[in-house]
Amino acid sequence: MGDHTAKLILDVKNLVVRYETEDGIVHAINGIDLQLGYRETLGLVGETGAGKTTAALAMLRLVPDPPGVVECERLTIDGRDILNMPSAKMDDVRGKDISMVFQDPMTALNPVFTVGEQIAESLQIHEHLDKRDAMKRAREMLELVGIPGSRAGDYPHEFSGGMKQRVVIAIALACNPKLLIADEPTTALDVTIQAQVLELMTTLKEKYDTSMIMITHDLGIVAEVCDVVAVMYAGHIVEQGTLEDVFNRTKHPYTEGLFNSLPNIYNRTAMLKPIKGLMSDPTDPPPGCPFEPRCEYALAECKTRNPDLVPAGPTHKVACLAYEQEGFHIKRRI
Amino acid sequence: MSRYIVERLLMLIPVLLSVAFIIFAIMNAAEGDPVYSVVSADATQEQIEAARIELGLDGTLIQRYFRYVGGMIKGDLGTSYVSKRDVMQTYMMRLPNTLKLAAASMVVALVISIPLGIIAAVNQNSIRDAVSMVLALLGLSMPNFWLGLLLILLFSLRLGWFPSAGYEDGLRSIILPAITNGTGLAAFMTRATRSSMLDVVRQDFLRTARAKGVTERKVIRKHALRNALIPIITVFGVQFSNVLGGSVLVETVFAWPGVGRLVVDAIEQRDIPTVTGALVMTTMLVTITNLLIDIVYAYVDPRIKSQYAKKGFKLWKRT
């Protein structure tokens, strides 16, 4: 491992994930690079099916196999080689160094164990606490996420959706992980609860110096919590940079489309401008740029050549052939 | 929870009364006057009437039913026509044998079916799954008297490890009947375990467990199995109820003096009090088993427990 990984909590190089099903091979992730510094928050943005969740699962080595096949040049977390780690050791990393908050709190908790037991389990595994001490810490964790510790003996069905998500967050943070992956943590929640949960996560992240990957399709959330952003489309990263880069100096037509499909608060009567069409079939990806069929700037060459992610500024990268033309710029609505 | 149990126990009373009545009515509808099976062929009319009163066969069906229920409450199930012994006593002599065989068979069934079902589900569509399912099918389609005979041939006659019949040899004599009975039961339970586990292994909460570092073994044994238990317990309950009624074929093959033989012999001999008594007792045991199963549900799944606590029986609530 080179020197550059030492300063990174996460270093992923050329990650490829495909699902080999009976109906064909699903190309979920087609070679992505991700790097994240300590205490930074990365926003992984893209529409459903872009490969965001699969990318997260691959980092935890939890892609179901079969049918999943993961290939990667480098995958390190906190300088440790995750890729070649024996599975028994992987159990020590999961929940301790890296943990995950899942999208749907309704199904993420085991219905037959109390929430206290579910939080305590992770402390018993990683901190080797006995049951009583672990339960005591579990009650403290509940208090930390804003649930009275006395409810540790209750079962998931006795909690509301927002409270369940707080429990899931408590489980993920119980052993103070170095990297927290939050997979659309607020998508299944009420709008009013969303803000609360988000604020809770950012406060706890600050408090414990945790690095975070926020997977979302909500650009508002990205603006609020992220330092760096990677925009994913059809298993590729199409634009990457600091929050400033991606939000204020948008380069990729797909990113532009994402912004344009947001409601405009200054002109409430304006129609939403969705991106036309659907994402290409992942079992049969087009030979050229995957966004070409939906792209209004598409050139003839885009049909045959898939662009590389190339620098577009000191911290900014974009994968779009149109920039090879002199003076090309997108006409993003601000 | 305790209120629920009390309510369920009270529900036992009408169930037992109606079962007793149904059995009573069916026995009454059977052809022929049972008196003639008791008195000698050349008995006079007076002797016949005397015997009728002595046997308690006088009066209408309803009158006899209430007389029977009156005895039932005191634990008196009448006297056998054939052996002239107290039915309750005879039944109670046989019951421990049936309970032993039932328990041993269920242990055999559980030991085979739970691991087999889990292996099949976790490795769905693999060779292990196929082998497990073939074994289950084999257990299901093999007549158990035949399996019993094969086991006797090998383990009793050839190897001499276990006695071929009887129950006097303690644990050694129960092993072959339990295996014979248990394999058939295991087949059903393997299938129940497999399908129930298949539902659970794709659930999101297992991913949560894996993500917090729980080992794969523990994910399956602790997190998944506990959630898959409800349907397995249901099948377990049904099968346990069945074996409580006695397993006639297995009892016959191994000369095992259980309740099943008692009832079948009594039917052949038109021994109505024994048949009625044994059936009433079996009904009671089955109902109690069902109650126990329902209580176990509550301890396995907290959602069911809170349901029990919330709503009583409608019949009960109106008052």
Give the pLDDT of residue A2: 45
Which pair of structure tokens corresponds to residue B136? 């289950």
Angle at A13 between CA A10 and CA A14, to 5 degrees: 140
B147 and B186 housed in the same domain: yes
Give the pLDDT of residue B108: 93
Are the beta carbons of A86 and A96 closer than 8 angstroms?
no
Asked if A94 and B303 come within 8 Å (Cβ–Cβ), the reply is: no
Which pair of structure tokens corresponds to residue B204? 């999101």
The C-alpha of A94 sits at a distance from chain B's nearest C-alpha, in angstroms, of 5
From the number of C-beta atoms within 10 Å of its C-beta (0-12, 13-18, 19+), residue B155 rates as middle
Query: For position B148, which CATH number holds?
Result: 1.10.3720.10
Q: Distance between CA atoms of A200 and A198, rounded to whole angstroms?
A: 5
Are the beta carbons of B140 and B176 closer than 8 angstroms?
no
From the number of C-beta atoms within 10 Å of its C-beta (0-12, 13-18, 19+), residue B17 rates as middle
Could you say which residues from 162 to 221 on chain A have a Cβ atom under 8 Å away from some Cβ of chain B?
168, 171-172, 174
Across the A:B interface, residue pairs with CB atoms under 8 Å apart total: 80
Which residues of chain A are under the pLDDT cut of 50? 1-3
B135 and B10 housed in the same domain: no
The C-alpha of A206 sits at a distance from chain B's nearest C-alpha, in angstroms, of 21
Domain that holds residue B67: 2-73
The reply to whether B135 falls in a domain is yes
Asked if A95 and B227 come within 8 Å (Cβ–Cβ), the reply is: no
The C-alpha of A159 sits at a distance from chain B's nearest C-alpha, in angstroms, of 12
B246 and B157 housed in the same domain: yes
Backbone angles phi, psi at A161, to 5 degrees: -55, -45
pLDDT in tens, A244-280: 999 988 889 899 888 888 877 777 677 777 888 888 8
- Helix/strand/coil for A99: strand
Give the pLDDT of residue B111: 94
Backbone angles phi, psi at A227, to 5 degrees: -95, -40
pTM: 0.80
The C-alpha of A272 sits at a distance from chain B's nearest C-alpha, in angstroms, of 34
Give the pLDDT of residue A1: 42
Give the pLDDT of residue A155: 94
B118 and B249 housed in the same domain: yes
Give the pLDDT of residue A151: 93
Are the beta carbons of A318 and A312 closer than 8 angstroms?
yes
Backbone angles phi, psi at A100, to 5 degrees: -135, 140
- Which of these three, B26, B48, B73, is where a domain ends? B73
B156 and B129 housed in the same domain: yes
B59 and B94 housed in the same domain: no
Asked if A91 and B215 come within 8 Å (Cβ–Cβ), the reply is: yes
Residues of A in contact with B208 (CB under 8 A): 102, 108-110, 118, 168, 171
The reply to whether B98 falls in a domain is yes
B144 and B215 housed in the same domain: yes
Which residues fall within 8 angstroms of residue B235, CB to CB, at 6 or more apart?
B188, B189, B192
Q: Distance between CA atoms of A288 and A304, rounded to whole angstroms?
A: 4
Residues of A in contact with B216 (CB under 8 A): 87
pLDDT in tens, chain B (319 residues): 778 888 888 888 888 889 888 988 887 777 667 777 777 777 778 888 887 777 777 777 888 888 888 888 888 888 888 888 898 999 999 999 999 999 999 999 999 999 999 999 998 888 999 998 998 888 888 888 888 888 888 888 888 788 877 777 777 888 888 898 998 889 889 999 999 999 998 899 999 999 999 998 999 999 999 999 999 999 999 999 988 887 888 888 888 888 998 999 888 888 888 888 898 899 889 988 988 998 888 888 888 888 777 655 444 444 3
B122 and B154 housed in the same domain: yes
Asked if A100 and B211 come within 8 Å (Cβ–Cβ), the reply is: yes
Residue ranges of alpha helices (H) inside chain A are 52-59, 87-93, 105-108, 115-126, 131-144, 161-173, 191-208, 219-225, 243-248, 253-260
Q: Among B209, B213, B215, whose Cβ lies nearest the Cβ of A110?
A: B209
Q: Which amino acid is at A87?
A: S
Q: Among A93, A114, A157, whose Cβ lies nearest the Cβ of B303?
A: A157
Give the number of residues written for chain A: 334
Asked if B205 and A107 come within 8 Å (Cβ–Cβ), the reply is: yes
Q: How many domains does chain B have?
A: 2
The reply to whether B160 falls in a domain is yes
Q: Which amino acid is at B255?
A: A
- Which of these three, B13, B38, B73, is where a domain ends? B73
B172 and B33 housed in the same domain: no
> Among candidates A308, A290, A297, which has minimal Cα distance to A239?
A308
- Which of these three, B247, B269, B291, is where a domain ends? B269
